């Protein structure tokens, strides 16, 4: 849950450096931004811009070398692996380019999976799973296996799974990257619907056209924020990358 007035994401002067003290490899430099509850933000940049590293930090899969990252008010930099795992389970819903569905589980069982690991009672798991699958337009696919679904249906299942624990942040990594243009448009419309319903969404993409679907676009270049623009600013500029 989010606390009123608390950003879902708050980064202050975040740096990330790999390599050694003798041969450092800086990847992120002075990243500084916040995401408020209910925002739909796209982070865009070319290969090598630092998107993947920033994604790992936002998803609590890696820690900054320096600076502060607060997730719903808690600074994650010095948390141990167990605490980071708990944050990932309760505060972040992940949507991946490759879906990552369990092939031998049904659609409903895939959506239930995070609740199973959280030891939520079976009846509650089933009810939440069915409700979310209805919400994403898959109420008729509950007992199907992932191999029986289209790419768009697989991604809708992945979105439902990401939302089932009611996390304050939905973090999507290239969610349309493996989809054709028509299906990509359908998935982006689903994100728009979730945004209208109050979801906080951060979408990572290399595609400027996908990024334009968000109400805010943050552009990375060489590990730094090159631009942070709202929809109105993008429209005034003609939507150029």
Query: Using alpha carbons only, what angle is made at residue 201 by residues 134 and 70, rounded to the nearest 5 degrees?
Result: 130
pLDDT confidence of residue 165: 92
Give the sign of the dihedral formed by CA 44, CA 93, CA 101, CA 128: negative
Q: 223: buried, middle or exposed (CB in 10 Å: 19+, 13-18, 0-12)?
A: buried
Query: How is domain 9-236 classified at the CATH fold level?
Result: Rossmann fold (3.40.50)
pLDDT confidence of residue 7: 96
Per-residue model confidence as pLDDT tens digits over 211-228 = 999 999 999 999 999 999
* Predicted TM-score of the model (pTM): 0.89
pLDDT confidence of residue 232: 58
pLDDT confidence of residue 147: 96
| Kind of pairing between the strands at 9-19 and 66-71 | antiparallel
Per-residue model confidence as pLDDT tens digits over 2-44 = 555 799 999 999 999 998 888 999 999 999 999 999 999 999 9
222: left (phi over 0), alpha (psi -120 to 50) or beta: left
Residues of the chain with pLDDT under 70: 1-4, 232-241
CA quadruple 55, 56, 60, 65: dihedral, nearest 10: -110
pLDDT confidence of residue 215: 94
| CA atoms within 13 A of residue 25's CA, in its CB half-sphere | 6
pLDDT confidence of residue 234: 54
pLDDT confidence of residue 223: 96
What residue spans define the domains of the chain?
A: 9-236
């Amino acid at each position: 849950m989010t606390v009123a007035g608390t950003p879902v994401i708050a980064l202050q002067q975040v740096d990330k450096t790999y390599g050694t003290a003798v041969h450092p490899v800086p990847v992120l430099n002075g990243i500084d931004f916040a995401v408020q509850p209910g925002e739909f933000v796209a982070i865009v940049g070319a290969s090598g811009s630092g998107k993947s590293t920033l994604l790992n930090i936002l998803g609590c899969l890696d820690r900054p070398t320096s600076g502060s990252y607060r997730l719903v008010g808690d600074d994650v930099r010095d948390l141990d692996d167990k605490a980071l795992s708990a944050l990932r389970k309760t505060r972040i819903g992940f949507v991946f380019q490759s879906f990552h569905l369990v092939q031998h589980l049904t659609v409903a069982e895939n959506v239930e999976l995070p609740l199973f690991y959280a030891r939520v009672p079976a009846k509650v798991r089933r009810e939440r799973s069915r409700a979310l699958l209805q919400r994403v337009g898959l109420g008729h696919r509950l007992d199907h296996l992932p191999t029986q679904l289209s790419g768009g249906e697989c991604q809708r299942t992945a979105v439902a799974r990401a939302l089932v624990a009611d996390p304050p942040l939905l973090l999507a990594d290239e969610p349309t990257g493996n989809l054709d243009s028509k299906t990509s448009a359908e998935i982006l419309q689903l994100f728009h619907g979730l945004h209208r319903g109050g979801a906080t969404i951060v979408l990572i993409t290399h595609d400027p056209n996908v990024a334009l679907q968000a109400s805010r676009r943050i552009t990375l270049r060489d590990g730094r924020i090159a631009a942070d623009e709202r929809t109105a600013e993008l429209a005034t500029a003609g939507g150029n990358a």
